[in-house]
Structure 1
Amino acid sequence: MGKKGKGKGNKLVKMSEEERARYLQMRADMNEETRRRKMQLIALYMKNKLKREDAFCRLNMAKTNQEWRSILRQVKIQDLRSEIVDVELFFKEALKRKDQVIQRLIGDINSTEDMYANLQQSHMEKIDRIIGIHRSRIEFFRCIYEDDKQAVLRE
């Protein structure tokens, strides 16, 4: 086995003041450079981690938005379907009411046509009766005229 080093204490003791100051300054500079590099590495690591997290955040946000829109579409579809059912029921009821009105009007037309036919027949019978009365009167007056004419001719 090799000899172990005796430590830094002995190394510093062998150096002169100027060498020791340079050595300590160099050592401090190295420590500072190491600390600065560590900080740069940590900053770079954090920057990369932040970039990855930002990408994951955007991806998750897109997935969440897509799922949310899908849920909203499903809700909208259900609302529209129920609205379609309501409109369909409304129109069926409106059609039923209009059919009832049409049937009632057809019944009114039929009864009105019957009344018209009855009134027309009654009117025609009355006109025929009036014509008959006038014919009989004309016949009566013609007979009187003929009688008067013959009486005048006899005289």
Structure 2
Amino acid sequence: MGKKGKGKGNKLANMSEEERARYLQMRADMEEETRRRKMQLISMYMKNKLKREDAFGRLNMAKINQEWRSILRQVKIQELRREIVDVESFFQEALKRKDQVIHRLIAHIESTEDMYANLQQSHMENITRIVGTIGITSLKITF
């Protein structure tokens, strides 16, 4: 096998002070540039990752909100159905009470009409009796 490269120690040893300083400065600049590019790549990667995560976060939040609204609608539907049953029950009870009042009033009217007919009959009999006792036979009263 052949001999490997001489290594950096020999390379630097063969250079003058000025060349060595320029070489070391160039190496430092290259390392700095490499570090800067690496940081820039990491920064861009993190920014892209943050954008993707933000987009996924918005998408997930929209899905969660949609599902939450659906759940709230279902709960509201159940509440409204219970309320409808309660209102229907209240309406039926009110209707029953009003029907009872109407039936009582009709019965009261019928009994009042019977009383009126009896009183009218009694009045007519009294008038006829009074007229008969006075002796006015030619007078005819009709109602």
**TM-score, normalised with respect to structure 1:** 0.85
- The separation in 2 between residues aligned to 1:107 and 1:137, in whole angstroms, is 40
- The separation in 1 between residues aligned to 2:82 and 2:109, in whole angstroms, is 40
1:151 alignment partner in structure 2: none
More helix by share: 1
1:12-31 equivalence runs, <5 A: 12-31=12-31
The C-alpha deviation readout for 1:101-145, integer Å capped at 9, x for no partner, is 01111111111111111111000000000110111699xxxxxxx
**TM-score, normalised with respect to structure 2:** 0.92
1:9 alignment partner in structure 2: 9
Note the aligned Cα RMSD (angstroms): 1.5
- Could you tell me whether the CA contact under 8 Å between 2:12 and 2:20 is conserved in 1? yes
Q: Indicate the SS of the match to 2:124.
A: helix
2:61 alignment partner in structure 1: 61
Which portions of structure 1, spanning 4 or more consecutive aligned residues, are displaced by more than 6 angstroms?
Answer: none
Q: Indicate the SS of the match to 2:135.
A: helix
Superposition deviation, residue 2 in structure 1: 4.2
Superposition deviation, residue 6 in structure 1: 2.7
The runs of 5 or more residues in structure 2 that have no matched partner are 139-143
2:44 alignment partner in structure 1: 44
Superposition deviation, residue 79 in structure 1: 1.0
- The separation in 1 between residues aligned to 2:36 and 2:20, in whole angstroms, is 24
1:73-84 equivalence runs, <5 A: 73-84=73-84
Q: Which amino acid aligns with 2:40?
A: Q
The runs of 5 or more residues in structure 1 that have no matched partner are 139-155
**Amino-acid identity (%):** 83
1:120 alignment partner in structure 2: 120
